[in-house]
Amino acid sequence: MNPAERIQSDPRGRRWGGLDWSEWYSLAKTGDGSGLVPREMGIYRVRRTGDPELIYVGISDTLRQRISGLRNNSGHSAADCVAAHRNPGHDIEVSWATVGQMYIDGRISEEHERRELLGLEVDLIAACRWLFGHSPACQHHGSPLG
């Protein structure tokens, strides 16, 4: 899928950016004992229920570890901002796509996976900027929306 097509798809959808995204899960319920989050390289997105916009898009060499840092409000640059988006009636949810689910111009070779992920992350953040007029609220050490 070319970048223009990535920009035009729904950032909350199962096929956003041409990827095969997981279902949305409550961030609070993705604990290590849940087995929900894979221990693989991939990309993830975060939203607040009821809001049309994403609040964060990120990549990780180990999704489970990175999402754990976000959930536990430790070791993640966006953790404080994401935590500030929690309020009554609005849960924080996360969804991810692993490298094994990525099909960008065919198969991705191992040595290029990280670079491809970085490029995809940039494309998806750009898609949010194009759709909503700004980056996700917690991107780039951002602040919660008012």
What is the predicted pLDDT for the residue at 21?
93
Give me the pLDDT at residue 143, please.
Answer: 62
Q: How confident is the model at residue 101 (pLDDT cuts 50, 70, 90)?
A: very low
pLDDT band at 32 (very low <50, low <70, confident <90, very high): low
Q: Which of 3-7, 66-70, 138-142 has the lowest mean pLDDT?
A: 3-7
C-alpha dihedral, 34 to 40 to 45 to 48, nearest 10°: 10
The model carries a pTM of 0.85
In what helix (H) or strand (E) does residue 66 lie, and over which residues does it extend?
helix 63-71
Mean pLDDT of the chain: 82
Quote the pLDDT of residue 10: 87
Q: What digits encode the pLDDT tens for the residues 34-73?
A: 889 999 889 999 999 888 899 999 999 889 999 999 988 8
All domains in the chain, ordered by first residue: 3-139 (3.40.1440.10)
Residues 6+ apart with CB under 8 A from 101: 19, 20, 42
**DSSP result, 85-120:** T-BTTB-EEEEEEEGGG--SSSPPPGGGHHHHHHHH
